[in-house]
C-alpha cells in the first residue's frame, strides 16, 4: 500500500517531482514494450498521486455513464480541456487499473502527451480534492 500524503502541500511537491521526472523521460524509458515493464519509480509515483486524492465525484455514476472503452484518459491533451476534474481523476485511476487486462495503458497516456497535462491540471486544482485518509 502506498504511503499516504500528510498534507496537500506534500501532494503538490510529489506531483511536481513526478511531472519533472516524466518530462525528462522518453516513451521507451517510461515503458519498455519488450519487457512490459515501467520505469522503476515513475508508474508507482503516478499511482500514488492518483490514489492519494479522495474525489467528491460519484464513481458509480461515472462507471454507469461511460463504457469500458471511454473510461480511460483521452488520446489528446485538448480533450482534457473543459473535462470535469472528478472525471479526469477517475479516468486516471481507470487508466492504470486497466493494466490488469491490457498492459501499457498508462504508457499510452504518456505517449499521447496526456498524462503530464492531466497531473498538472489536478495539481492546479488541488483544492477541489481532499486527501485519502
The answer as to whether 68 is a domain residue is yes
pLDDT reported for residue 58: 75
The answer as to whether 90 is a domain residue is yes
Integer-rounded Cα Rg, in Å, for the chain is 14
pLDDT reported for residue 103: 84
The answer as to whether 13 is a domain residue is yes
Give the integer Cα–Cα distance in Å for 41 and 128: 26
The answer as to whether 37 is a domain residue is yes
The answer as to whether 3 is a domain residue is no
The answer as to whether 1 is a domain residue is no
The answer as to whether 25 is a domain residue is yes
The answer as to whether 36 is a domain residue is yes
Structural domain span for residue 38? 8-131
Is the pLDDT confidence value at 96 over 60? yes
The total number of structural domains that make up the chain? 1
∠122-124-127 over CA atoms, to 5°?
80
Structure confidence by residue, pLDDT tens digits, 23-69: 999 999 999 999 999 998 999 999 999 999 987 677 777 777 776 66
Amino acid at each position: 500500500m502506498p504511503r499516504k500524503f500528510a498534507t496537500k502541500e506534500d501532494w503538490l511537491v510529489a506531483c511536481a517531482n513526478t511531472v519533472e521526472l516524466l518530462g525528462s523521460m522518453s516513451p521507451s524509458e517510461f515503458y519498455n514494450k519488450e519487457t512490459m515493464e515501467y520505469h522503476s519509480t515513475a508508474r508507482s509515483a503516478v499511482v500514488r498521486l492518483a490514489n492519494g486524492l479522495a474525489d467528491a465525484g460519484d464513481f458509480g455514476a461515472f462507471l454507469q455513464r461511460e463504457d469500458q472503452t471511454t473510461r480511460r484518459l483521452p488520446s489528446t491533451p485538448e480533450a482534457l480541456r473543459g473535462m470535469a476534474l472528478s472525471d479526469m481523476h477517475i479516468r486516471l485511476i481507470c487508466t492504470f487499473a486497466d493494466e490488469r487486462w491490457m498492459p501499457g495503458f498508462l504508457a499510452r497516456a504518456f505517449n499521447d502527451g496526456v498524462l503530464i497535462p492531466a497531473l498538472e491540471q489536478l495539481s492546479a486544482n488541488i483544492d477541489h480534492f481532499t486527501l485519502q485518509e
